[in-house]
């Protein structure tokens, strides 16, 4: 299934992220999922960095600096307009303490986290609270392409793609189930002025399959004597 953000949707305000600096794996997961964010180190920096329209929500890593994390949660919840939704990242050892602090957050996720679980919990929070907008993404099964940052990931793992590899994958993933000839792909992805032969398409398809990995290489299927198809056909063959 392909999901595209509508052109008329309002751009999402950034998420507040604590602590500063942000753990690299969290920054990467948020970037790949298409969520804008700003890191803060305390309440004062949260007020200074707050956008004019307010924060879209917050992701607080309590597993790293618990005292500072919970102090910030309390301050953000006591405001005239409490910050919500708030996702708390906690260690397994902290689970027993959450019941006494359930007014400080809307949901929690174990840290270290799985990128797909983090994204799912954020989507659920935004759907439940009616906050934020859907990031501009193309999604098909485990594949996610961020149209704003030109990043791609498979099962939450970043793909190191060249510009044309990304463009080819984006075009194919945006039209799942459809078969395209090499000539059509050349004109639609490379442009009408491109003078390379069909071999160019074959080379890029081979590289994409290698980067998708053995488990997911069959996302791009060869249709004999015709060209290539992304995903399953509409008839499941």
Identify the CATH assignment for 15-129 out of 3.30.1330.30, 3.40.50.2300, 3.10.580.10, 3.30.420.40. Answer: 3.40.50.2300
- Per the CB < 8 A criterion, the answer to whether 183 and 204 are in contact is no
CATH 3.40.50.2300 positions along the chain are 15-129
User: Which carries the bigger pLDDT value, residue 217 or residue 3?
Assistant: 217
Instruction: Give the mean pLDDT of 155-171.
Output: 94
Please give the model's pTM, rounded to 2 decimal places.
Answer: 0.64
- Per the CB < 8 A criterion, the answer to whether 228 and 222 are in contact is yes
For the chain, what's the residue count?
237
Q: Looking at residue 148, what is its pLDDT?
A: 79
Sequence-ordered list of residues with C-beta below 8 angstroms from that of 199, at least 6 positions apart, any chain: none
- Per the CB < 8 A criterion, the answer to whether 40 and 46 are in contact is yes
CATH 1.10.10.10 positions along the chain are 160-230
Q: Looking at residue 9, what is its pLDDT?
A: 44
Instruction: Give the mean pLDDT of 210-223.
Output: 96
Instruction: Tell me the pLDDT tens digit for each residue of 19-71.
Output: 999 999 999 999 888 889 999 999 999 999 999 989 999 999 999 999 999 99
CATH topology of domain 160-230: Arc Repressor Mutant, subunit A (1.10.10)
């Amino acid at each position: 299934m392909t999901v595209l953000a509508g052109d008329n949707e309002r751009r999402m305000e950034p998420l507040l992220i604590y602590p500063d600096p942000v753990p690299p794996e969290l920054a990467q997961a948020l970037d790949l999922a298409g969520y804008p964010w700003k890191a803060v180190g305390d309440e004062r920096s949260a007020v200074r960095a707050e956008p004019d329209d307010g924060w879209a929500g917050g992701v607080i890593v309590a597993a790293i600096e618990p005292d500072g994390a919970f102090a910030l949660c309390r301050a953000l919840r006591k405001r005239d307009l409490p910050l919500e939704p708030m996702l708390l990242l906690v260690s397994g050892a902290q689970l027993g303490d959450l019941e006494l602090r359930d007014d400080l957050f809307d949901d929690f996720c174990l840290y270290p986290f799985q990128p797909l679980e983090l994204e799912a919990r954020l989507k659920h929070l935004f759907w439940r609270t009616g906050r934020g907008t859907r990031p501009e993404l193309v999604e098909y099964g485990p594949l996610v392409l961020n149209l704003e940052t030109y990043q791609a990931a498979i099962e939450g793992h970043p793909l190191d793609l060249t510009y044309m590899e990304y463009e080819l994958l984006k075009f194919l993933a945006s039209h799942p189930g459809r078969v395209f000839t090499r000539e059509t792909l050349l004109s639609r992805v490379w442009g009408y002025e491109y003078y390379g032969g069909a071999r160019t398409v074959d080379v890029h398809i081979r590289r994409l399959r290698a980067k998708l990995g053995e488990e997911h290489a069959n996302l791009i299927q060869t249709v004999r004597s015709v060209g290539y198809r992304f995903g399953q056909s509409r008839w499941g063959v």
